Amino acid sequence: MRIDALGLIRYGHFTDARLALPCPAQGADLHVVFGPNEAGKSTLFSAWLDFLFGFPAQTQYGFLHDYRALRIEAEITTATGPLHLARIKGRSNTLLDAQHDQPLPEATLSAALGGLDRASITTMFSLDDDTLEQGGESILSSEGELGQLLFSASAGLSDLSDALRSLQEDADQWFRAGARKLTLNEHKTRLRELDGARRAADVKASDWRKLCEAQAEAEARYMTARTHSAATRRRLGEIARDLDALRDLARLERREAVLDTLPPVEEFPASWLTDMPTWQREEAELDALGPVAETRRAALAQALDALGEDAKAEALSDRIDALERRFGAIAKDMEDLPKRQAAAADLDRQMTALLERLGRPDLTPEAARLPATLIAEFLALLEQDAVLRSKLELARSEHDRARDALPDGPARASLDEAALSRLGPLIKDLHRADLLRLDMNARAGLAQADNARRAAFAALAPWTGTPEALARLDLPSAAHLDALGHDLDSAAQRLRDVEADHLRLRGQLAQARAGLGAASELRAQDVADLRDDRDRAWAAHKSSLSASTAATFEQAMRADDRIRAQQIEAARQSERLTLIAQAQAALESTEAERVAAQAERTSQSAAVAALWAGIGVTPEGRSLADFVNWCARRDAAIAAANDHDRAAAELDAVQSRIGAAHAALAQTLGTLAALPRDPDFTTMLAEAEAQLEQAAALRLRAEREREAVVRETTLKAAQDARAQWQERWATVCAQCWIGTPAPEPEAMRAILDLVATLTERASRAAEFAQRIDSIERDIAAFTSELRGIARALDMPELGGPEQLWPQLRVHLQAALERKTERKRLRKAKAEAIDDCALIAARREALVARIAPVQARFGLRPLDALAQRLAAIAQAREVAQDCASLRDELAQKLDCADLAPERARLATLDIAALQIEQDALEARLTHEENAQQDAYVALAAAQKARDGVSQDAAAARLEAERQTLIMQIAEETRRFIARRAGIIAVEHALRRYRDTHRSSMMARASEAFAMLTGGRYSGLVTQAGGRDDVLMAQLANGATKAVATLSKGTRFQLYLALRAAGYHEFAASRATVPFIADDIFETFDDTRALAAFRLLGQMAQHGQVIYLTHHAHLCEIARAACPEVQIHDLQAE
Please give the pLDDT value at position 316.
64
User: What are the φ and ψ backbone dihedral angles of 532, each rounded to 5 degrees?
Assistant: -65, -40
Pick the range with the lowest mean pLDDT from 255-259, 606-610, 670-674, 868-872: 670-674
pLDDT band at 701 (very low <50, low <70, confident <90, very high): confident
Lowest average pLDDT, out of 203-217, 227-241, 833-847, 1027-1041, goes to 203-217
pLDDT tens-place string over residues 859-881:
667 777 777 778 888 888 888 88
Q: Does the structure show a pLDDT above 80 at 827?
A: yes
- Provide the 8-state DSSP code for 317: G
pLDDT of residue 853: 77
Position 951 scores a pLDDT of 47
Q: Any idea which fold 476-614 has? A: Helix Hairpins (1.10.287)
Least-confidence region, from 286-290, 687-691, 1054-1058: 687-691
pLDDT at 158: 42
Question: For the chain, what is the mean pLDDT?
Answer: 78
pLDDT digits (tens, 9 = 90+) for 261-270: 887 877 778 7
- The model's confidence at residue 4, banded by pLDDT at 50, 70 and 90, is very high
Compute the distance between CA of residue 780 and CA of residue 792 in angstroms, rounded to an integer.
19
Q: Is the pLDDT of residue 103 over 50?
A: yes
Return d(Cα 951, Cα 968) in angstroms, integer: 28
The CA distance from 100 to 497, in Å, is: 49
H/E/C letters for each residue in 345-414?
HHHHHHHHHHHHHCCCCCCCHHHHCCCHHHHHHHHHHHHHHHHHHHHHHHHHHHHHHHHHHCCCCCCCCC
How many Cα neighbours within 13 Å face the side chain of 857?
A: 20
Please check whether residue 590 is in contact with residue 502, taking contact to mean a CB–CB distance below 8 angstroms.
yes
- Classified as helix, coil or strand, 49 is helix
C-beta separation of 587 from 511 below 8 A: no
Neighbour tally for 492: CB within 10 Å: 14
3-class DSSP state for residue 75? strand
When pLDDT is averaged across residues 477-497 and rounded to a whole number, the result is 75
pLDDT at position 673 over 70: no
For position 876, what pLDDT does the model report?
A: 81
- Asked, as a colleague might, if the bond just before 277 is cis with ω within 30 of 0, I would say no
Please name which of 662, 668, 657, 663 lies closest in space to residue 682, comparing C-alpha atoms.
Answer: 662
Q: Is the dihedral of CA 309, 311, 312, 313 positive or negative?
A: positive
pLDDT at 71: 94
Confidence at residue 107, expressed as pLDDT on a 0 to 100 scale: 83
Q: Is a pLDDT exceeding 90 seen at residue 7?
A: yes
**What local confidence, expressed as pLDDT, does residue 70 receive?**
92
Give pLDDT, residue 146. 44
User: What integer is the mean pLDDT of 608-637?
Assistant: 77
Q: What is the pLDDT of residue 962?
A: 81
Better pLDDT: 30 or 950: 30
**pLDDT (average), residues 343-349:** 84
Tens-digit pLDDT profile for residues 934-959: 888 888 888 777 766 544 565 567 76
| Residue 175 confidence class, pLDDT cut points 50, 70, 90 | confident
**Which one, of 796, 739, 817, 830, lies nearest residue 313 by Cα?**
817
Given a contact cutoff of 8 angstroms between Cβ atoms, the answer to whether 457 and 644 are in contact is: no
**Mode of pairing for the β-strands spanning 1125-1128 and 30-34:** parallel
pLDDT digit string, tens, across residues 379-399: 888 788 878 878 888 888 888
Is it the case that residue 73 has pLDDT exceeding 90? yes
Q: What is the pLDDT of residue 208?
A: 60
Find the mean pLDDT for residues 166-190: 74
pLDDT recorded at residue 425: 76
CA distances from 1128 to 35, 1113, 1124 (A): 6, 13, 13
What average pLDDT does range 724-728 have in this prediction? 84
Contact, 6 vs 44, CB < 8 A?
yes
Least confident of 56-65, 73-82, 998-1007: 998-1007
Indicate whether 1045 pLDDT > 80: yes
In this predicted structure, the answer to whether residue 176 has a pLDDT above a threshold of 90 is no
User: What is the rounded CA–CA span in Å between residue 744 and residue 756?
Assistant: 18
- pLDDT, residue 991, reads 64
Residue 1106: pLDDT band (50, 70, 90) is very high
User: CA-to-CA distance for 226 and 962, rounded, in angstroms?
Assistant: 47
